[in-house]
Amino acid sequence: MDNQELTQEAFDRLNEELEWRTGKYRLDLAGMIEKAREHGDLKENGEYHAAKDTQGLSEARVRELEHILKNASIVEVGKGDVVAIGTIVEISMDDETETTRYYVGSIEEQHDDYDMLTTASPLGQVLIGGKPGDKVKYEGPRATFVVTIHSVKPNS
């Protein structure tokens, strides 16, 4: 999945994270590694190995961020009552009375109040473009469900 659809807010946040990881954080990690080296034998130096592991994870995230930002498409946040990136959709499955709310977007979007529903997921794909009252079929891994869209609202 090369193309990432991101809101401008998510794109800016990821860009800031990349700048931090390749700037201040990278320097801080180098300092931690240097300080840990001063504690002697590297074979048995847990602080050194922990710092190197942290550095490796950070560099992997840098590569991931570079790839995402290079392949990102900025999309407008949904503003109406149609399921789109940046909207909150409330659904139920198979005429159940219990509903679930999701924030629709890329996995790199962040939302503290709702679970994420990505546009690349099978459920996300069948819901995109739907409106309240619509019923769509969702082919799950073990069964087919009828999903009812109860409400769609912009994330405000």
pLDDT tens per residue, range 89-145: 999 998 788 999 999 988 887 777 888 998 888 999 999 999 999 999 998 888 899
Residue where a domain terminates, one of 74, 109, 136? 74
CB-based contact 154:110 (threshold 8 Å): no
How many independent structural domains does the chain possess? 2
DSSP-based three-state secondary structure for 41? coil
**Residue 134 domain flag:** yes
The residue segments making up the domain with residue 35 are: 4-74
Mean pLDDT for the stretch of residues 22-44: 89
Whichever domain contains 107, its CATH number is 3.10.50.30
Token duo for residue 154: 């912009």
- For residues 45 and 99, state if they share a domain: no
- For residues 18 and 58, state if they share a domain: yes
Token duo for residue 124: 């996300």
Query: Whole-prediction pTM value?
Result: 0.75
Q: Where are the alpha helices (DSSP H) in 71-101?
A: none
For residue 108, what pLDDT is reported? 82
Residue 42, pLDDT > 70, answer: yes
Mean pLDDT for the stretch of residues 36-56: 87
